[in-house]
Amino acid sequence: MGGPPWADRDHGRFGGPARLRLLEALLAASDPLTVSEAAAAIGVDQPRASRLVQQLADHGLVRREADPSDARRTRIALTEPGEALVRGFRGERRDAVRTALSDFSDADAGELARLLAKFADAWPRP
């Protein structure tokens, strides 16, 4: 028991990569997203995105807002705790990458960057 409010009791962790992808998509967006836009941004269907939004809202990490241009739609935005959580994850990942690369020579780091770029270029796109 205990632990941070966003921990998943069933999985003992944040609850899977889809939640984090959704939080990151909201942080990257210039405006709050609709559920459909969020679904497209993270590569899930709309019902799955709706469930993720509900889970994150239950944890106080996102909030729903009325769409100013269409009152029938809802937009999703990060709360301050949600934004802090995503920025914390990003900082931890950045630190982990920095640590992992600390013993790489400049040539090795350059080769890794070249191979990652090649990998990214080959990644299947819808």
Find the domain containing 22 and state its range: 17-122
* CATH code, domain with 27: 1.10.10.10
Cα separation of 91 and 48, whole Å? Answer: 27
Q: Average pLDDT of 89-118? A: 89
Residue 107 lies in a domain: yes
Q: Does this model's pTM top 0.95? A: no
Domain count, the chain: 1
CA 6 vs CA 77, 79, 99, 124: distances in Å: 16, 13, 27, 32
Residue 104 lies in a domain: yes
Residue 26 lies in a domain: yes
Residue 28 lies in a domain: yes
Phi and psi at residue 65, to the nearest 5°: -130, 150
What pLDDT, on a 0 to 100 scale, did the predictor assign at position 95? Answer: 85
CB-based contact 36:74 (threshold 8 Å) = no
Q: Average pLDDT of 36-48? A: 94
Range list of β-strands (E), 2-121 = 33-34, 62-67, 70-78
Residue 12 lies in a domain: no
